[in-house]
Amino acid sequence: MSYQLSDVSFQFTDYCLLKSLPLPTPHTLHPTPHTPHPTPHTPHPTPYTPHPTPHFLHPTSYTPLASKVKL
């Protein structure tokens, strides 16, 4: 069995092309008619709203500190 160099190079080129090109599969031939829909459940905000902490410092509470600072 003898092959000419051109036959082997063509076979190799065909092989490389087949390896690099994506072949269509039954899953990719036709787009699916189904489009995803959003779920009927939409999250609602929780009824709990955080309250300010009881240790919240009022701006006037800084005035005693300001009187102790020497300029």
Report pLDDT digits (tens) over 13-45.
676 666 665 666 655 556 666 666 666 776 767
Cα angle at 38 between 32 and 43, to 5 degrees?
160
pLDDT given for residue 47 in this prediction = 73
pLDDT given for residue 60 in this prediction = 56
Mean pLDDT calculated for residue range 4-13: 63
Give the model confidence (pLDDT) of 43-68 as tens digits.
767 677 666 666 555 555 555 555 56
Mean pLDDT calculated for residue range 4-16: 65
Residue with tokens 């300010």: 52
H-helix segments, the chain = 5-20, 26-29, 63-68
pTM of the model: 0.19
